[in-house]
Structure 1
Amino acid sequence: MILVTGGTGLVGAHLILHLLNENQPIRAIYRNEKKFDTVKRIFGYYTDSAEDLFSKIEWVKADLNDIPLLIEAFKGITKVYHCAAFVSFEPDKFELLRKTNIEGTANIVNLCLSERVKKLCYVSSIAAIGTPTIETDIITEDNDWNPEFDNSVYAITKYGAELEVWRGTQEGLDAIIVNPGIIIGPGIWNYGSGSLITMVDKGMRYYTTGSTGYVDVLDVVSIMTQLMESDIKNERFILVAENLSFKDFIYKTALHLDVHPPNKEAGPFLLSIAWRLDWLKHILTGKRRVMSKQNAKSAISKTIYSNQKIQSALGYQFKDVDSSILHTTTYFKSDFN
């Protein structure tokens, strides 16, 4: 049996659907029953049998740090896809990020070892890839992590989680790590690329000229399963279809949503004011941070990621980003119009 953590998330839900279509027995960990509707909605984008497929999943309510419940969830498991994570760039959320992403992953690794799981796939992020000393350099899996760099709290904990996976491989666990870029896919509109699509639909005044890597959720799922079925082990792979500027992504999204794109650039000076005002508002009101110093810096940083390693390993051809945006915005409009 296959265990999926984070089964109600964007990657987790698409992964489970993919595995169910291959008639694989699935056990999935969740935290909140309210998110089951999201999973069924995502299933419904691709099949008329969403309810029937959903009923085949063996759901287990558990927290990544609840060891007794996790032990029960691991009984009879042969492969694990660890998709669960806490995503936040708010500095004051560091302890929760560390508890979920690092300690939670350590628990998953330990149980994989104790239960003699055949293989683990960990969904990390390009945030955990080392940053080059020269901005124009192409980033690969071989870039060294620089602890002196001004890394976001999210990046720090995803890198820490990867260290736990590597520790597991030293103790005999077969594992792979995937490092997706910004994942494009339908169904979750309040965080990740879905929240950006929501913002574009509502109307944005400013764009930024930084760049990063993007990838379709279906590509992520397909590569994960191919790697798990292969003899490849103890390797990490950057999953990026294309590198685009934030401006290009926003403009492509606005085009497919039939809304006006932003027409003003937010440069370094404006962003430096914005994150400081956001910090001050947080101090005075206690409201959640919207922009951190690291977010502001990444918004104007031009990062370029290589997908050569995964292309060489699997001969994989990615979907182009414009098609991914069109596919995702089509379901966005059907959900809200």
Structure 2
Amino acid sequence: MIFVTGGSGLVGSFLIAELIARGESVRALYRGDVVPQIPAASQVEWVEGDLRDALGLRVALEGVTHVFHCAGLVSYAPQDETALLQVNVEGTANMVDACLERPGIRLGYVSSVAALGSKTGEQPAGPVQLDETAKWDLGAEHNAYATSKYLAELEVWRGVSEGLQAVAVNPSVILGPADWNRSSTRLFRYAYDQHAFYTPGNINVVDVRDVVDMLMRLTLDTTISGERFVLSAQAVPLRDFLSQAATCFRRKPPTIAVPDWAAETIWRLEHVRSVMTGARPLITKDTARAGRRPVEYRADKVQRVLGQSFRALPDTITWCCEGLMARKHVTEQLV
């Protein structure tokens, strides 16, 4: 029996579909009154609950052999700092404790490249390259999301020190044909809506199918424990990514670069608006400055261990665009 958290999310939904196709028995956690509408949902044993409910998690793990902890909050809004700690850190700590109470369970944890921190000191010219050996700089400034994922990973490693068999993956921006009003898939919506502006800098991306496949193989098919694996196919200029997506949609790509001074002004105005209205800012200091310092995440380790390479970005973009257009067509028919 395999237990999955975050079953309605991008990684969790594709993971559940693959586990069912593999013939596994799946139990999944969901919040709210409605069971997530995802492929193979009818073949899943759904459990209503919350990561902050430690007792509920212990009950949910009855008879479970493997856990995939995919649930997490992704936000750069200042209003969500407390929620990030509650969901990502406390929720992961509860999951680790629940696993430790049932010896023999193996945990696959979905972290983020944000938890890697950054290299300090003088760097050579060109992009900064980071891999699993990157050290978190306690003296540096980190956004709340990155801090929450770093602290959540520490909970996993704490569990490993207490006897838990666990492995973590650190994906970069995950691409997949899901709800384009949520998370990373909003990049495709931005390209489809033919916005003229883009910010200079790079974006590191990975196909959700590669994330799911590698996560499954590391958790179910190996005995590796206490290690993290970066999952990132490549770094690409954001303008190139948006242009490829727009071309795939047969839309006009962005052409106007937003200078740094403009981005700095916009996030400050958005901060004032959010404080006065209580609404979440459309752009924050962290998102405004993201990509300014060229960073490339190296995923040589996972490719070496699994003997598997990543899908090419053009193939991923085509697959995502086709899937998103199919979803849009179905939604319009229902309306």
TM-score range, shorter chain: over 0.9
1:33, distance to aligned residue in structure 2 (A): 4.6
Aligned counterparts of 1:35 and 1:277: Cα–Cα separation in 2: 39
**Preserved contact between residue 245 and residue 302 of structure 1 (Cα < 8 Å):** no
Counterpart position of 2:102: 115
Counterpart position of 1:48: none
Report percent identity of matched pairs.
36
**Preserved contact between residue 80 and residue 117 of structure 1 (Cα < 8 Å):** no
Aligned counterparts of 2:135 and 2:250: Cα–Cα separation in 1: 42
**Preserved contact between residue 272 and residue 293 of structure 1 (Cα < 8 Å):** yes
Secondary structure in 2 aligned to 1:60? strand
Counterpart position of 1:218: 209
Aligned counterparts of 1:295 and 1:35: Cα–Cα separation in 2: 32
Aligned counterparts of 2:56 and 2:275: Cα–Cα separation in 1: 37
Counterpart position of 1:25: 25
Counterpart position of 2:168: 177
1:199, distance to aligned residue in structure 2 (A): 1.7
Give the alignment of 1:134-145 within 5 angstroms: 134=123, 136-145=127-136
- How many residues of Structure 1 are paired with residues of Structure 2 in the alignment? 324
Q: Give the letter aligned to residue 44 of structure 2.
A: I
Aligned counterparts of 2:269 and 2:48: Cα–Cα separation in 1: 39
**Preserved contact between residue 81 and residue 144 of structure 2 (Cα < 8 Å):** yes
Counterpart position of 1:260: 252
Could you report, residue by residue, the CA deviation over 1:277-316 in whole angstroms, capped at 9, with x for unpaired residues? Answer: 1101112222112221111111423111101111111111
| Residues 16 and 200 of structure 1, relative CA distance in 2, 3 Å threshold | same
1:190, distance to aligned residue in structure 2 (A): 1.5
- Match for residue 290 of structure 1 among 256, 273, 282: 282
1:149, distance to aligned residue in structure 2 (A): 2.5
Give the alignment of 1:291-306 within 5 angstroms: 291-306=283-298
1:35, distance to aligned residue in structure 2 (A): 6.0
- Match for residue 76 of structure 2 among 89, 94, 109: 89
1:332, distance to aligned residue in structure 2 (A): 1.1
Matched, 1:330 2:327: no
Secondary structure in 1 aligned to 2:43? coil
Aligned counterparts of 1:35 and 1:56: Cα–Cα separation in 2: 12
Gaps of 5+ in 1: 44-52
Aligned counterparts of 2:186 and 2:16: Cα–Cα separation in 1: 22
Give the alignment of 1:1-337 within 5 angstroms: 1-34=1-34, 36-37=36-37, 39=38, 43=39, 53-133=40-120, 134=123, 136-228=127-219, 229-337=221-329
| Residues 294 and 35 of structure 1, relative CA distance in 2, 3 Å threshold | farther
**Preserved contact between residue 54 and residue 95 of structure 2 (Cα < 8 Å):** no
TM-score, structure 2 as length reference? 0.94
Secondary structure in 2 aligned to 1:36? coil
| Residues 16 and 33 of structure 1, relative CA distance in 2, 3 Å threshold | farther
Could you report, residue by residue, the CA deviation over 1:188-246 in whole angstroms, capped at 9, with x for unpaired residues? Answer: 21122211111221121211221131100010010011101112111000000111111
1:110, distance to aligned residue in structure 2 (A): 0.3
Secondary structure in 1 aligned to 2:195? coil
1:96, distance to aligned residue in structure 2 (A): 0.7
Using the TM superposition, name which of 96-105 and 60-69 deviates more: 60-69
TM-score, structure 1 as length reference? 0.93
Counterpart position of 2:333: none
Q: Give the letter aligned to residue 16 of structure 1.
A: I
Aligned counterparts of 1:275 and 1:20: Cα–Cα separation in 2: 43
Question: Any runs of at least 4 consecutive aligned residues in structure 1 with deviations exceeding 6 A, and if so which?
Answer: none
Using the TM superposition, name which of 174-183 and 62-71 deviates more: 62-71
1:62, distance to aligned residue in structure 2 (A): 0.5
Aligned counterparts of 1:330 and 1:301: Cα–Cα separation in 2: 32
Counterpart position of 1:49: none
1:81, distance to aligned residue in structure 2 (A): 0.3
Aligned counterparts of 1:117 and 1:243: Cα–Cα separation in 2: 38
1:184, distance to aligned residue in structure 2 (A): 0.6
1:131, distance to aligned residue in structure 2 (A): 1.0
Aligned counterparts of 2:274 and 2:313: Cα–Cα separation in 1: 35
